[in-house]
Amino acid sequence: MKQKFIFPAILLFLILLSVNQWADDNCSSFLVTKGASKDGSVMITYTCDGEFLPHLEYIPARDHDPGSTVEIKGRDGKIRGKVEQVPHTFAVVGLMNEHQLAIGETTFGGRRELRNPDGLLHYFFLMRLALQRAKTSREAIKVMAELVKEYGYASTGESFSIADPKEAWIMEMIGPGPGGKGAHWVALQIPDGYISAHANMSRIGEFPLNDPENCIYSANVISFAEEKGYYNKKSKKPFSFRYAYDPPEPSSLRTCAARVWSMFRRSAPSQNFSPDFQRGKKGAKPYPLWIKPDQKLSLQDVMNIMRDHYEGTDFDMTKGIDAGPFGCPVRCRDLTWEVDGVEHSWERPISTQQTGFSFISQSRAWLPDAVGGVYWYGVDDTYTTCYIPLYCCIQDLPKPFTVGDLQKFSWDSAWWVFNFVANYANLKYSYMVQDIQKIQTALEAKFLSLQPAIEKIALELYKTDPKLMVQYLTNYSVSQGEQVVKRWIELGEYLLTKYNDGYVKDDRGRPRGIGYPSEWLKEVLKSKPKQFKLPKWGEEKKS
């Protein structure tokens, strides 16, 4: 019987995001090569930011009959076309497959006129199809390139992070315009020992034309830019993908380049990266595509980098009157706003309350694929989430991460549970975030400390009974995910009890008023210098 693969509803929602947002600021990605990590892991991160409720998915490996196809549906649910199926597809957990291959992305939009409404495949279809058909990063690049060549590319500009146990690559792709064929793209391997980052801006500038081991690109990526007038060979300047297809603008520098700057400044403080480029200072030098970190990064280091609000810089979102009395880094959309005809912009951090889900993939070449690949997954804001370990061989998922409806709150949905805790914490952030981090730190530390023991048992089972090993890692991953949600429900109830009606309960459960920080009170008095002043006893109150 022929098998057809149908993408679930959440991906149809992502189509809407892709179609309607040309140059959004909705994702952040960080790439770490094996030589730049403490344990030799290749790691990539992905924050999928937007107001949607994700359902974590497991796609089992399958054999397919000759002539089978994959139905590609549009946002209206109608079939837009079909892709020829391959004889065998690999199992996928989230955005990592059974061979430790992981793929993430950020949308850079680029030139609007290059979107091709006649193309069949949006970026997320490419990611899923590549994960089902490829074992390595190079194979994934080849799969995506061949798919868009045959079926057409439907999205705007995309930056892809692609990682396997040995290599990390960044691939950037943009369409040919209405009625065009294929896509224009370039892929670069991140040198071992280095890290890279991208956040809704094209990052690939100049690239080598004769180094197929480390750089692969579409045949007409330069000639097409010349035809369109995006690049003039007579200028004698080297061709730059980003300047041809995604010329930077002040707004994108502020909300996009700033996140790359912060990932780099945290990874390599000694290099003292200037904020001038991300602040749009004329003539400022763009940040390099990759850098060498001051020290090799651990998994915990990477988690911390993805929890950034520019702390410790001039742009620290937990400081100032805009952070409110309790240092809350949350800024409501829209990020840009106008007062008296002058346009302004809030900072856009890596960590944002609009994150739907995020992951950190861990791929390790010295272990069997089933044990080496770990998909560290979290929902909602990276700062207040808890990453759970999901091994890439598992055959089931913790149910709370697979259910939920954006239009209806439910304690059964992990996304709603984490959103409840994070949103309630905004009322008295500097206090409540400490309670959240206490639980977050304890749980993640437990997972990291247990990892060697869990994998030691898994490796023994791998030698004697691989099926039992898969069940063992499945049970572990599912139970830890469910435990985290249960603990987060308890945390939400605790916060609601401790911080009620503006009071803070002490260790004995007695409500205490804690008032407001003096610096914030001074700002209040600046705006209303007379309203709150109390008259002295016997002194007539002045109007």
Q: Tell me the H-state helices in 134-179.
A: 137-151
The Cα 259–Cα 182 span in angstroms is 31
Classify 115 as helix, strand or coil: coil
The Cα 423–Cα 401 span in angstroms is 19
* Residue 205, token pair as written in the block: 């500038």
The Cα 302–Cα 318 span in angstroms is 21
Q: Which of 67, 75, 91 is nearest to 4 (CA)?
A: 67
Classify 321 as helix, strand or coil: helix
Identify the helix (H) or strand (E) that includes residue 159: strand 157-163
Helices (H) and strands (E) in the chain, counts: 13, 23
**Is the Cβ–Cβ distance between 131 and 120 less than 8 Å?**
no
The 10 Å Cβ neighbour count of residue 129 is: 24
Please enumerate in sequence order all residues whose Cβ is within 8 A of that of 219, keeping only pairs 6 or more positions apart, or say none.
none
3-state helix, strand, coil in the chain (%, to 5): 35, 20, 45
Angle between helices 137-151 and 123-133 (to 10 degrees): 130
Tell me the pLDDT of the chain (543 aa) as tens digits: 333 333 443 343 343 343 333 334 589 999 999 999 999 999 999 999 999 999 999 999 999 999 999 999 988 889 999 999 999 999 999 999 999 999 999 999 999 999 999 999 999 999 999 999 999 999 999 999 999 999 999 999 999 999 999 999 999 999 999 999 999 999 999 999 999 999 999 999 999 999 999 999 999 999 999 999 999 998 989 999 999 999 998 878 999 999 999 999 999 999 999 999 999 999 999 999 999 999 999 999 999 999 999 999 999 999 999 999 999 999 998 888 899 999 999 999 999 999 999 999 999 999 999 999 999 999 999 999 999 999 999 999 999 999 999 999 999 999 999 999 999 999 999 999 999 999 999 999 999 999 999 999 999 999 999 999 999 999 999 999 999 999 999 999 999 999 999 999 999 999 999 999 999 999 999 999 989 989 887 665 555
If you write DSSP's letter for every residue of 342-356 in order, what string do you get? EEEE----SS-TTEE
If you write DSSP's letter for every residue of 90-156 in order, what string do you get? --EETTEETTS-EEEEEEEE--GGG--TT--B-HHHHHHHHHHH-SSHHHHHHHHHHHHHHH-B-SS
Q: What is the pTM of this model?
A: 0.94
Determine the length of the chain.
Answer: 543
Please enumerate in sequence order all residues whose Cβ is within 8 A of that of 105, keeping only pairs 6 or more positions apart, or say none.
27, 29, 46, 123, 124, 127, 158, 159, 160, 161
